[in-house]
Structure 1
Amino acid sequence: MAPPMERLPLKRRAISDQQRRRDIALLRQAQARRDAQNQARCLASAILSDPPADIEREPLEPECELAGDAEAEAEAKAPAEAGDAEDASSEMDVLQASKLRGPKARRWFSRQLMLPEWMIDVPPRLSVDWYVFPRPAGKRCFVVSSNGTTISRLRNGTVLHRFPSALPNGARTKEVMGPASMFSILDCVFHEHDQTYYVIDMICWRGYSLYDCTAEFRFFWLNSKLAETGACNPPSFYHKYRFSVVPVYDCDQAGILAAYTGHLPFIRDGLLFYNRHAHYQTGNTPLSLVWKDQVCSQYFIDTDSKGVVPTLQQVVLELLEDGSVATSDDSPVVLGKLDLETIQKNNLHHGNLIRFAVGDGGLDVIDGDIKKADIHFVGKANRVRAFADTCSKILFQYMARRSPLRIDDLVASTTLLHDNDQSLADVEMVSS
């Protein structure tokens, strides 16, 4: 029989609309029809093409969505580039994409990745519908092998490395060379400490697109196909960097704790949760979530350029044409408005990313949406930023300073589901 109710762990009350948006994302995914093969070919061609000189000179961008602002605040060497920062379409022609510069290039390349939302609430059926794995600290990047070479690019489009590898068609050796149509695309994190590419997802393998495959299938292929190559072997003359898969666990109590505290060859920067039914969706998606605390991440709470946690939470928002400032969500949320004097005094333009501090009034959250925010102008955000913060990041950081979502809440959610399932089984046995 089920244990007495007073012994069950308490479930944390939901405060956001993440689950509603997850349901919508899964529904759209089931209804969507796209040319996945052409999308993979477009991305591979854009990554392999030579970027304009000004993109090459930009500093290597640290992971801005999944790391603290201590990294994101590193000063850019080049002067800020003015101009229209409107969203670049993910469907842009390859030739156009390869010629993009500055903010537009950063936006286009960053939106080709599947970007997780920050976990505000624990998803229902966490132990049934989700995977969990530790996220390596480092630079998020694409890796493409084609035409006898391998190229990695950061989210801002900057080439990180050009090198030979044991990936299919990744070096000019008879063991791996193949036709030009045989290219592979991996979603990786480059870990500086051991000079290793940790692969967190597979987008395309030997010319076969995996965009419309579930995470369950992609992870299966990633583990089986990568092991068939020599990509996981130590570096050699024709294989400059080692590749390694990240351990992926079922999201039960044992899996969560293994991802949270298990021994790893890399520095852990939080946990990633993937819905096992999710396709590889470019841009922000609630079907992929990131969670952190002070135990598993150095950047649990955003820090400034000196690694110090600011007294007030800081957020980055985009300036709209009417002076409003909004998040980078698919449906941007307006959190305030700048007066004309501030805009002119600071030489601000439509599309600029601006940093604000959250005042004592905090955030007013109603039915999962931020309806009001007490924000105060700080200045322009660093130019390496691709786009503004999302609502989920703002809410996560707000909660982290007040009532964070704890590891106990994640573990308890799996226990609750198990106990509920056991209760239903007991009822069925009694009824029979």
Structure 2
Amino acid sequence: MAPPPDHRRPIKRVAISDQQRRRELALRVQADRRSDAQNRARQLASSVLSLGPVTEVEPELEQEQEMSDASDQSGGRTELDPVRAASLRGPEVRRWFATQLMLPEWMVDVPPLLDSDWYVFPRPSGKRCFVVSSNGTTVSRLRNGSILHRFPSSLPNGARTKDVSGPSSSYSILDCIFHEADETYYVIDMVCWRGYSLYDCTAEFRFFWLNSKLSETGASDPPSQYHRYRFNVVQIYECNLIGLQAAYLGQVSYVKDGLLFYNKHAHYQAGNTPLALVWKDNVCSQYVLDTDNQGQIPSQQQVVLELQNDGSLTTSDDPPVALGCLSRDMIAQYGLRVGNLVRVEVRDDSVKLVDGKLDLGDLQLVGKPNRSRAFADTYSKVLFQYAARRAPLRIEDLVASIQSNPSVENSQALDIEMEG
């Protein structure tokens, strides 16, 4: 006689996008790639240190509506040497620096093998930036290219002290979020350390080095004469049930803004990647749904897209995804030009989800977005926001995905409560 069915077994949420297919493709591409990671890191370090202050008014970075994230914006991926990068100005600076950070996609489907192949950690709210220490100084630059801080630090060659170790030409590059409330740089990734590039190292190795190497420098010590800001490593967890619970509900010293998930096998890939994901709900973030220019959550979803030559409105993905079109009369009426960002409203009754692809139907032009916006939304963000208003990806879905893995013991899984 067959055993009775186990009604406690979790049911996985059906995928609504091709995110997993692109994830598998990204892993294959990085395995086949033969990039000069050392030269890439050297170019980035030189550019971060040499670029002069941006002459235009520096845009205020919104806390995650536009934000740190950095996560919803990316321009075309182009390789530039330091000389060309130093000559960029205005929007070109922002676009170039936006392609240097590894930006997470928004999680719209739960990856398989979440508990064995992924890390999870609580993301600090703040300003996403690169921090470079070299030649006795430390510089942090926002993704728009402008300097956030220039200061002495305990990072290698980060201050002009007598006990500087290593050659003067060596440099280190950290991927950070600056949390203004406690004036602390929270390090979420390591790109280069003492001149050694980590671009083509897995996240598993980069996080190991980050935790071991940073602790040797005293960079986490309180501020002092030769160490202006504290650097703290964000606690990184295995994405099993215990780790997910700790990241989701655990107390941290900063304002939490969602969860970040990194695939253990992912290299540091410039631009948006499905091998890093961001997820939010009302428990772990105060910014789940996008707001309008007045900071209010509109009754209908609003999307920021970029106007193209043919009148189409596209996302900032590479390649871009067309989600609508404007007539010539509308373009002329609003005085729009190619490359302008526009804010459009999505009518609920016109949206369709067909084979994992959004068809937004008729779009209502609202106007131009806040001037601080430099890039259009990504497709994964549009899809996440669409789902968040109707059938959001919940913490229970993440738990169910982990519990459905045969390697997880049900006795342990069922004891975990994810209530905020």
Q: TM-score range by the shorter chain?
A: over 0.9
2:253 maps to 265
CA-CA distance at 1:58 after TM superposition = 1.4
CA drift at 1:348: 1.0
Counterpart in 1 of 2:210? 222
For residues 190 and 314 of structure 1, the distance between their equivalents in structure 2, rounded to whole angstroms, comes to 28
Question: Which residue of structure 1 aligns with residue 65 of structure 2?
Answer: 68
Rounded to whole Å, the distance in 2 between the matches of 1:189 and 1:350 is 32
3-state secondary structure, aligned to 2:153: coil
Query: What's the counterpart of residue 21 of structure 1?
Result: 22
Structure 1 residue 2: Cα displacement:
9.3
- For 1:362-393, what per-residue CA distance to the aligned partner results, in whole angstroms no more than 9, with x for missing partners? 43222222244332111112333232111110
Question: Equivalents in 2 of 1:91, 1:324: separation in Å?
Answer: 27
Q: Which residue among 148, 163, 175 is the counterpart of 1:187?
A: 175
Counterpart pick for 1:162 among 131, 150, 155: 150
Partners of 1:419 and 1:222 in 2: CA distance: 29
Cα-to-partner distance string for 1:252-285 (whole Å, 9 max, x where unaligned) = 1111110001010111000000000000000000
**Runs of 5+ in structure 2 lacking a partner?**
411-420
Aligned residue pairs total: 405
TM-score, normalised relative to structure 1: 0.90
Aligned runs of 1:303-342 on 2, under 5 Å? 303-342=291-330
Post-superposition shift, 1:208? 0.3
CA separation of 1:71/1:178 partners in 2, compared to 1, >3 Å: closer, same or farther?
closer
Aligned to 2:417: none
1:356 aligned counterpart, secondary structure: strand
Match of 2:406 among 410, 418, 423: 418
User: Alignment partner of 2:405: what SS?
Assistant: helix
Counterpart for residue 189 of structure 2: 201
Which residues of 2 match residues 18-417 of structure 1 at below 5 A?
18-55=19-56, 57-62=57-62, 67-68=64-65, 89-176=77-164, 178-417=166-405
The answer as to whether partners of 2:402 and 2:408 remain within 8 angstroms in 1 is no
| TM-score normalised by structure 2 residue count | 0.92
CA contact (8 A) 1:60 1:154 kept: no
Whether the 8 Å contact between 1:156 and 1:384 is mirrored in structure 2 is no
Deviation at 1:404, TM superposition (A): 0.5
Q: Secondary structure of 1:24's partner?
A: helix
What is aligned with 1:7?
8
Moved over 3 A (4+): 1-5, 69-72, 86-90, 371-374, 418-422
Q: Which runs of 5+ in 1 are unaligned?
A: 73-85, 423-432
RMSD: 2.1
Q: For residue 5 of structure 1, give the secondary structure of its aligned residue in structure 2.
A: coil
In structure 2, the residue matched to 1:429 is none
Output the amino acid matched with 1:54. T
* CA deviation after TM superposition for structure 1 residue 110, in Å: 1.0
1:361 is paired with a residue whose SS is helix
- Distance 1:168-1:95 versus aligned 2 partners, 3 A rule: same
**Aligned 8 A contact 1:204 1:210 in 2:** yes
Give the deviation of 1:336 after TM superposition: 1.1
Instruction: Give the % identical residues.
Output: 63
- C-alpha contact (below 8 Å) 1:88/1:104 kept by paired residues: no
Q: Is the 8 A contact 2:134 2:170 kept in 1?
A: yes
